[in-house]
């Protein structure tokens, strides 16, 4: 007997129909990065049309890149933002990515409680 898997209509991820439903909970979010006065990199995640915006800060571009990749930002896009555009920013300026569909467990595992 072969197992049937369900495919998420947006992300394409496969899931067993009996798997934990939390895994299948996706959220549309807008991710942004900014440079803080102390040189740290801040990654923020916001739901469209909501005021709350959880943030995490990181010491290096490599740490921030790992988080961005985990949230679903493409390699090339993360590299372009962090290594090409980011150095040109002044403190507290922000670069915003297009809205994306991110698994809620991924947000929570990275410290972004929505």
Domain-located, residue 18 = no
What is the pTM assigned to this prediction? 0.75
Domain-located, residue 76 = yes
Mean pLDDT of 65-84: 95
Domain-located, residue 54 = yes
For 8-33, give the secondary structure using H, E and C.
CCCCCCEECCCCCHHHHCEEEEEEEE
CA dist 64 to 48, 58, 59, 95, 111, Å?
22, 6, 8, 13, 13
Predicted pLDDT at 113: 85
Number of domains in the chain: 1
Domain-located, residue 11 = no
Summarised one tens digit per residue, pLDDT across range 19-51 is: 555 456 888 999 999 999 888 999 999 998 888
Domain-located, residue 97 = yes
């Amino acid at each position: 007997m072969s197992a049937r898997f369900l495919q998420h209509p947006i992300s394409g991820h496969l899931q067993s129909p009996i798997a934990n439903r939390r895994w299948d909970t996706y959220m549309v979010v807008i991710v942004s990065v900014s440079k803080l006065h102390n040189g740290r990199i801040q990654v923020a995640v916001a739901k469209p049309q909501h005021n709350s915006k959880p943030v995490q800060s990181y010491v290096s571009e490599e740490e921030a890149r790992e988080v961005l990749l985990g949230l679903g930002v493409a390699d090339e896009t993360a590299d372009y933002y962090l290594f090409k555009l980011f150095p040109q920013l002044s403190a507290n300026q922000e670069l915003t990515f297009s809205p994306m569909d991110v698994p809620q467990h991924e947000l929570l595992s990275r410290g972004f409680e929505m």
